[in-house]
């Protein structure tokens, strides 16, 4: 009986989140945007060979909004597949009349050079009205070989 009840509740919740995304037409507040983004990006189930990434963009112009969303997702994919981190550390010890002063400094940069995300596919796209512009959400799929 408990298993049946849990199954029914999970189905109801799944349908609620799916219908929330499908029925959404406008974004009315930052909290609304955050909730929608969390539900939308929940589709983001990657495997070792397949990367799925959500991206979003906003603009007064619909075409620019779509291009920003695609670029956002492509940058995230490139960051996962082709980035490198350059790190440098410096430890300094100085002695003065009060004792030893230690100073530690670490600098790390995430570098992304000449990245290629050729072969991505748009899985789904959603366009919403937000204030006086457009919010576009995309879900991209990229085969990691």
3 band by pLDDT with thresholds 50, 70 and 90: low
Token pair of 99, please?
A: 């004792």
Higher local confidence (pLDDT), 41 or 13: 41
CA distance 71 to 56: 9
CA distance 68 to 74: 10
pLDDT in tens, 25-66: 787 788 888 887 888 787 667 777 888 889 999 999 999 999
The single residue listed with the structure tokens 């495997």 is 47
pLDDT in tens, 67-115: 999 999 988 888 888 877 778 888 888 888 888 888 888 888 877 777 7
138 band by pLDDT with thresholds 50, 70 and 90: very high
Q: Is residue 15 scored above 50 in pLDDT?
A: no
The single residue listed with the structure tokens 């796209």 is 125
CA distance 53 to 141: 7
Domain boundaries, the chain: 26-143
Q: Which of 9-13, 83-87, 118-122 has the lowest mean pLDDT?
A: 9-13
pLDDT, average across residues 3-32: 60
Q: Are the CB atoms for 74 and 98 separated by under 8 Å?
A: no
Nearest-CA neighbor of 136 among 80, 78, 60, 76?
60
Q: pTM for this structure?
A: 0.64
């Amino acid at each position: 009986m408990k298993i049946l009840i849990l199954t029914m509740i999970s189905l109801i919740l799944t349908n609620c989140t799916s219908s929330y995304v499908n029925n959404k037409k406008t974004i009315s507040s930052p909290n609304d945007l955050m909730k929608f983004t969390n539900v939308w990006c929940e589709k983001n189930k990657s495997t070792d060979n397949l990367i799925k990434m959500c991206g979003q963009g906003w603009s007064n112009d619909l075409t620019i909004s779509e291009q920003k969303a695609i670029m956002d997702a492509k940058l995230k994919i490139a960051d996962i597949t082709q980035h490198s981190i350059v790190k440098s550390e410096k430890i300094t010890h100085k002695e003065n009349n009060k004792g030893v002063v230690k100073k530690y400094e670490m600098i790390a940069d995430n570098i992304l050079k000449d990245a290629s995300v050729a072969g991505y596919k748009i899985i789904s796209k959603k366009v919403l009205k937000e204030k006086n512009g457009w919010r576009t959400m995309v879900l991209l799929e990229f085969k990691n070989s």
